[in-house]
Structures are given as structure tokens and as C-alpha cells.
Amino acid sequence: MARLPITAVRVSPQQRTRETAAIAFPQLADRLAEDSDLAEIDFGAWSGQSFAELEDDPAWRHWNEARGEASTPAGETMSGVAARMQGAIARLRDGRERQVALVSHCDTIKAVVCRTLGLPFSQLHRFDIAPASVTTLVVGDWGAKLLALNEVSEAQDHEHPRMGDDGDMA
């Protein structure tokens, strides 16, 4: 992260994003600003359950198969998640800071990427957002453009190899 000219950092209310941001941007650790629009998806009754516990829940399966229209038990849809993330980005775009890091969560980042690329939410399983990865957008009055997706350090890349479409390691 040291190579990035970041001047401000916004974090989700979840403590793990504050901890990640403090490690990634130690020079800005005392100026991290919380933004509730960057929060994790509200999973309601599913919160705290493991994937194994949820695999037999028909609503969980529906959520994962039909992200475009399904909602969590708390009523949050991917469209709603994307809208709140885009709202945060729009507020920052209109602010003074030009190079802002947003530290959020996998599915919230995927929601913004889908919206930026014009992809339906049903396609969000076709790309990864790894822990501590960097996805870069440039945003202006003209819209948004994806510059980088899921960039990881060389050490992360070796620790967490990616799977190719045919199941082979990539």
C-alpha cells in the first residue's frame, strides 16, 4: 500500500476493517474515518453461522443462486448494498480528498464492481475479492471505471492460489 498516494481512509463499522486499515496505512491510522455505508451485508439470522450450518437452509441457497433478486433475513438485497456503497463513493467524489481508500468487505466490493461493469449480480461469483486485496476504481462526473481487480501481494498470491475455470490452479 505504500506505493499508493492515499490521503484518506474510510472504514466499515466492523472492527476487522479498522485493524486492516491500520496495518495497510500506518501513516493514517490515527485518522481512519468510519462510514456505515461501507458495512458488511446485514445477514440477520444468518450472522455468526458457518457455511456448513447454512448449506441446508433453502433461503441461504436461494440467496447464493439468485443474488439479483434475493434478500437476506434482514431484508438486504445486493442492489441495496450496491446503492449504499455507491452513495459513499459519490459523497467522497464530491469531497476534497482525491485519493481515498475504502476498507470494506468481499460482497460489498463485489456489488460495486458488478454495478461499475454493468454485470448482473448473478455474475458476482465469477470473480474473487481476496482478504486484504486491492480493487481500484476511478470515479468522476462521467461515471466509474475499474482499473484493478483483486490485486494481492506476491506473498498472498503464493499463500492462496486461485482456481482456474477448469478447476486447475491458476
The predicted model scores a pTM of 0.86
133, 139 contact by CB (below 8 A) = no
70: helix, coil or strand?
coil
Q: What is the pLDDT of residues 149-161, one digit of tens each?
A: 999 987 655 554 5
21, 103 contact by CB (below 8 A) = yes
Q: What is the pLDDT of residue 3?
A: 75
Q: What is the DSSP string of 14-33?
A: SHHHHHHHHHH-GGGGGG-E
Mean pLDDT for 111-120 is 97
CA-wise closest residue to 124 among 113, 135, 116, 132? 113
Q: What is the pLDDT of residues 35-68, one digit of tens each?
A: 999 999 999 999 999 999 999 999 999 999 999 9
Specify the CATH architecture of the domain 8-41+76-159. Answer: 3-Layer(aba) Sandwich (3.40)
Q: What is the C-alpha separation between 87 and 108, in angstroms, rounded?
A: 12
